């Protein structure tokens, strides 16, 4: 299925294919329907066309996708920040940094460059992504239903899908996505679908949360999602133009610094870093600003719409950029436990991609920021 040439193939097949390794879109716009797939996608997953179930999933999205109104990035500042969260946020002082990279490590379509000076006002950020325990508290108090729960399914990485779910049609292959299954009943509470739970993973990141879900959590907490510029400024931890959040070496002195993929993607994960899936939100050593797991573990939703033409510095740095005014997808940053050098080296601190705001997967989460505490 995947051979040693897949890196080049991925670049040739374009952004959609590359993106699918990161976090597939669950949007009605991108779920395949019989007869409308592009030839490259059919070739990618021969003989694995969409099933009726996949089409049914799609219609659920179509019906409910318009119910969202929380599309305002300022919607977070309604409620004082809860004490237990405020107490563990770190203050990032105002400053100017060089955003992006001019290196050729990334995918040109990602527009990691050109580098540009960016000024960011002071803010507070959570050192950890939102955990299952955090999200559970939110759901307990509000009764909130995530998009994955409303739509009735979410994307699960193939290695985590139970055989019985395949036999019973609970897990469906989706055309064009080689290593993701649409799994009925998968949600933050049941990350691998029916019969699974998070009881032993309460300190792991909440997953299967859409951008809208992240917004809802932030609003309830009196917090907001970081802008992409804030995310990168904080993720760099005070270092200048380093490849990773901790320096230029992936494993300095042979030591793993983040939760990504070791082995042969997408089949064999040796988990040399200690984890095949998510890890606790406080794993590994933090960056220079005290942030954990900015690289790997889970992708992190940002406030901004996705854009590939960045504002350019005229006379002085770009001040508090917020991305494009409109768009169809939202930025995600940092990479996940599925990232591997051979296919998706997006655990680099300048790397970026996006997903549609109603999408949810087993490798996307978020962390929150606040202007004031």
Among 244, 275, 284, 306, binds Ca ion (CB under 5 A): 275
Nearest distance in Å: CB 205, Ca ion: 8
Nearer to Ca ion by Cβ, of 184 and 236: the residue is 236
User: In the block, which residue shows the tokens 């490798």?
Assistant: 363
Nearer to Ca ion by Cβ, of 23 and 58: the residue is 23
Take residue 90 and report the two structure tokens written for it: 């770190």
Strands 95-99 and 116-120: antiparallel
Nearer to Ca ion by Cβ, of 295 and 318: the residue is 295
- Contacts with Ca ion by CB under 5 A: the residue count is 7
DSSP label of 131: B
Nearest distance in Å: CB 293, Ca ion: 5
Stretch that binds Ca ion, among 116-124, 163-171, 257-265, 318-326 (CB under 5 A): 257-265
- Sign for the CA dihedral angle at 23, 356, 305, 14 comes to positive
Nearest distance in Å: CB 365, Ca ion: 7
Nearer to Ca ion by Cβ, of 230 and 273: the residue is 273
Nearest partner of 293 among 203, 195, 179, judged by Cα: 203
Asked if residue 212 binds Ca ion (CB under 5 A), the reply is: no
CA distance 6 to 26: 24
295, 231 contact by CB (below 8 A): no
| Nearest residue to the partner Ca ion, using Cβ | 334
Asked if residue 280 binds Ca ion (CB under 5 A), the reply is: no
CA distance 55 to 145: 22
Stretch that binds Ca ion, among 24-32, 227-235, 256-264, 356-364 (CB under 5 A): 256-264
CA distance 32 to 50: 7
Nearer to Ca ion by Cβ, of 57 and 265: the residue is 265
Nearest distance in Å: CB 71, Ca ion: 24
Nearer to Ca ion by Cβ, of 149 and 300: the residue is 300
Nearest distance in Å: CB 287, Ca ion: 11
Take residue 116 and report the two structure tokens written for it: 């540009």
191, 222 contact by CB (below 8 A): no
DSSP string of 16-83? HHHHHHH----STTTS--TT---HHHHHHSTT-PPPHHHHHHHHHHHHHGGG-----TTTTTTSPPPH
Nearest partner of 154 among 335, 31, 270, judged by Cα: 31
CA distance 25 to 22: 10
Among 192, 273, 304, 358, binds Ca ion (CB under 5 A): 273
Asked if residue 175 binds Ca ion (CB under 5 A), the reply is: no
Q: What angle do CA 112, 115, 118 make, to 5 degrees?
A: 110
Nearest distance in Å: CB 15, Ca ion: 21
Asked if residue 362 binds Ca ion (CB under 5 A), the reply is: no
Quick note: the x/- pattern for Ca ion over 302-341, rule CB under 5 A, is --------------------------------x--x----
Nearest distance in Å: CB 335, Ca ion: 6
Maximum distance among all Cα pairs of the chain, rounded to whole angstroms: 62
Take residue 369 and report the two structure tokens written for it: 């920021």
Radius of gyration (C-alpha) of the chain in whole angstroms:
19
Nearest distance in Å: CB 371, Ca ion: 22
Among 172, 259, 345, 360, binds Ca ion (CB under 5 A): 259
Nearest distance in Å: CB 235, Ca ion: 8
Nearer to Ca ion by Cβ, of 297 and 345: the residue is 297
Residues of the shown chain interacting with Ca ion in the complex, contacts defined by CB under 5 A: 259, 273, 275, 293, 297, 334, 337
């Amino acid at each position: 299925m995947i051979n040693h040439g897949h890196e080049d193939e991925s670049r040739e097949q374009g952004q959609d294919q590359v993106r699918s390794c990161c976090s597939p879109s669950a949007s009605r716009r991108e779920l395949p329907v019989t007869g409308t797939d592009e030839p490259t996608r059919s070739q990618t997953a021969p003989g694995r066309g969409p099933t009726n179930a996949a089409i049914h999933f799609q219609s659920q999205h179509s019906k409910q996708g318009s119910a969202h109104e929380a599309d305002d990035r300022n919607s977070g500042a309604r409620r004082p920040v809860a004490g237990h969260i405020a107490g563990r946020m770190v203050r990032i002082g105002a400053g100017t940094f060089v955003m992006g990279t001019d290196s050729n490590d990334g995918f040109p379509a990602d527009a990691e460059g050109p580098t540009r000076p960016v000024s960011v006002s002071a803010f507070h950020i959570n050192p950890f992504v939102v955990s299952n325990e955090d999200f559970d508290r939110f759901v307990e108090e509000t009764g909130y239903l995530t998009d994955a729960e409303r739509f009735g399914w979410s994307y699960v990485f193939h290695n985590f899908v139970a055989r019985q779910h395949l036999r019973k049609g609970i897990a469906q292959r989706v055309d064009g996505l080689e290593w993701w299954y649409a799994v009925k009943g998968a949600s933050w509470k049941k990350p691998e679908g029916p019969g699974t739970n998070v009881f032993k993973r309460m300190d792991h990141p909440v997953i299967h949360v859409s951008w809208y879900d992240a917004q809802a959590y932030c609003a309830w907490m009196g917090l907001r999602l970081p802008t992409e510029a804030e995310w990168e400024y904080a993720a760099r931890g005070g270092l200048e133009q380093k490849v990773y959040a901790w320096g230029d070496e992936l494993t300095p002195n042979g030591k793993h610094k983040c939760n990504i993929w070791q082995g042969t993607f997408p089949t064999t994960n040796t988990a040399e870093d200690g984890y095949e899936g998510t890890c606790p939100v406080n794993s590994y050593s933090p960056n220079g600003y005290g942030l954990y797991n900015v690289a790997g573990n889970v992708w992190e939703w940002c406030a901004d719409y996705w854009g590939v033409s960045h504002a350019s510095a005229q006379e002085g740095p770009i001040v508090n950029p917020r991305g494009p005014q409109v768009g169809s997808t939202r930025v995600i940053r940092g990479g996940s436990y599925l990232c591997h050098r051979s296919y998706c080296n997006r655990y680099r601190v300048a790397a970026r991609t996006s997903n549609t705001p109603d999408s949810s997967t087993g490798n996307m989460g978020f962390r929150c920021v606040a202007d004031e505490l």
